A and B are shown apart, each in its own frame.
Chain A
Amino acid sequence: MPIDKDTVKYTAHLARIELQDKELDKLSTQLKGILDYIDKLKQADIRNIMPTSHILPVNNVLREDSPKDSLPIDKVLANAPQKEGNFFVVPKVIE
């Protein structure tokens, strides 16, 4: 399956990663090589095979609806790149 530069650029946008031009070139070539190799999966016979999303027979793990301790606010904010009061600060989203 061909993956051209525009597709890589768009996918990077979806992944919220900014690539420099040189990176984009190199990555497009490398990803094309990897996807060509991955294409060998087309040979596998998967008729009537169920997908394995999860390897263990564990489903819908629930717990009692009883309150537990939360992380204290100072710990929550401790690694923040920018903070003010009890808030994380980010660039304005709405004008």
Chain B
Amino acid sequence: MELFKLTAHEILEKLKSSEISPEDGLYCIEGRIKDLDQKIRAYVRVFATPDSGLQNPNPKLPLRGIPVSIKDNICTEGRNTECCSRILGGFKPPYDATVIKKLKNAGATILGLKTNMDEFAFGSSTENSFFGPTHNPWDLERVPGGSSGGSAAAVAADEAFWALGSDTGGSIRQPAAFCGVVGLKPTYGRVSRYGLIAFASSLDQVGPITKDVEDCALLTNIISGYDPDDSTSIDAPVPDYLKSLGLGIEKIKIGIPREYFIEGMDAEVKAIVWDAINKLKSLGAEYKEVSLPNTEYAVPVYYIIATAEASSNLARFDAVQYGYRTDIKRLSGENKLIDMYKKSRGEGFGPEAKRRIILGTFVLSHGYYDAYYLRALKVRTLIKQDFDAVFDGFDCIVTPTSPTPAFKIGEKTENPLQMYLSDIYTISANLSGIPAISIPCGFTKKGLPVGLQILSRPFNEEMLFRVAHAYEQATPWHLERPKL
């Protein structure tokens, strides 16, 4: 069987027994990318040389030189990190993100090729990338989801053993669902954000995208932990998440929120997700309907808070210390410096970036701050309280990850609001800071993957892995591969 089809833990077994060498692992991925990526476009700016682990693969280190693919918004020292935006074209960070340092210290090879994404993580389809969209490996005319669409597509197409993405409103989980792979958004503060180019600082998290739950648990072990360079990271011990696998789900209490199964949701998704819930029941869990009454406010709250934070975080792109600068010979007006800012940002940012920055600036501006931003912060409290109340009596909550399977490229690009509504099931986890995982739970008649989302209380990733693993091992979905 071709090496690229294996999971990371299977590759690690072969590396451990010396059945294969680290070079074999790297070259098989590079070969697969050469063969397939013209069609999938999961990667951007193809480089020739690998990094780190392979130069000195240390057999004593747990990751033994295995390659990991990285989303284009995670800083890798000396290697282009551009958030798939024109405004960061050519940018080479002077330092590694903490998650990259952790991977290197564990012996991983950081693939020099970064994965495609919506520019600055603004999007749910990877269509907002400066480099053009990634194609869903299950149907090349459809989106892979976003904003970590490149990472999810690479894993689904066996162009990566595993990958890192980032999730601010669903950007790991939704592409994982669209591509039939596993994606985890850890609890806010579980994983360091140092070196993750910020979108919304109170919502962002780095997380794994993998072929199965065991790989996800392993990668989460490696990247988690307190970081003094990230003052929002939590100083709490990291459990061994691998110990949550194989525990079974006897008597686990699952809440099914009625607001996530509304009239008009895709009938196939509804049926497939209910089959999965009944499967969980057959494995020993108990489920009951619950309510998260403030769910209907999640999307508007998110698009106020996230855009407000984005407008602040993206103010640093001013063409002074790094990034795209307009042609200064064409500057005009009384204040050429301000004209340089305006033209560089006007030319360097794509349309979605400009839309979000301007919306965010508006909701923070004098006269509107109370009506929008402050109000949104209060409704955020209500949304968090809904989850706290449910977790008082339940171990986890199960929902669909997305209201629909992958849509066609171009289908939602004319209507930003339509695109925003596709985040409806994932957004609340970011607003509440709770961990959430998406796992494959079936396919539509057209052969498109459907994702099941499991949520739990803060720092209870163990429950997510426990439930996800039990379901995965009792079903065939994680063994399916797209025909490419």
Contact = CB atoms under 8 A, between A and B. Distances in A.
Interface of A: 1, 3, 7-8, 11-20, 23, 27, 30-31, 33-35, 37-38, 40-42, 44, 46, 49-56, 58, 61, 63, 71, 75-76, 78-82, 88, 90-93
B202 A55 contact: yes
A33 B343 CA distance: 26
Contacts of A75: 94
Contact of A79 (B91, B202, B335, B349): B91
B322 A40 contact: no
Contact of B354 (A27, A58, A90): A27
Contact of B303 (A15, A34, A76): A34
B201 to A, nearest CB: 9
Given A44-B382, A51-B380, A51-B381, A8 B319 contact: no
A23 B234 contact: no
Interface stretch (B28-36, B40-48, B280-288, B357-365): B357-365
A53 B380 CA distance: 9
Contacts of A82: 325, 328
Given A11-B361, A46-B379, 16 more contacts: A11-B365, A12-B358, A14-B361, A18-B339, A38-B300, A42-B375, A44-B375, A44-B378, A52-B384, A56-B188, A63-B228, A79-B322, A81-B324, A91-B328, A91-B331, A91-B340
Contacts of B92: 78-79
Nearest to A60: B231
Contacts, number: 167
A58 B232 CA distance: 7
A35 B362 CA distance: 10
By CB atoms of chain B within 10 A, which of A11, A46, A93 has the most? A11
Contacts of B297: 40-41, 44
B374 interface: yes
Interface residues of B, number: 72
Given A18-B345, A34-B303, A92-B336, A46 B375 contact: yes
A13 B361 CA distance: 10
Interface in B333-348: 335-343, 345-346
A71 B95 CA distance: 9
A45 B156 CA distance: 43
A28 B322 CA distance: 30
Binding site of A, secondary structure by majority: helix, strand, loop or mixed? Answer: loop
A41 B301 contact: yes
A31 B340 contact: no
A17 B417 contact: no
A17 B342 contact: yes
Nearest to B353: A17
Contact of A61 (B231, B296, B304): B231
A94 to B, nearest CB: 10
B341 A16 contact: yes
B311 interface: yes
Given A51-B377, A58-B232, A82-B325, A3 B417 contact: no
A61 B229 CA distance: 11
B460 interface: no
B442 interface: no
Contacts of A40: 296-297, 300
Given A17-B345, A31-B358, A52 B337 contact: no
B484 interface: no
B433 A55 contact: yes
Contacts of B368: 1
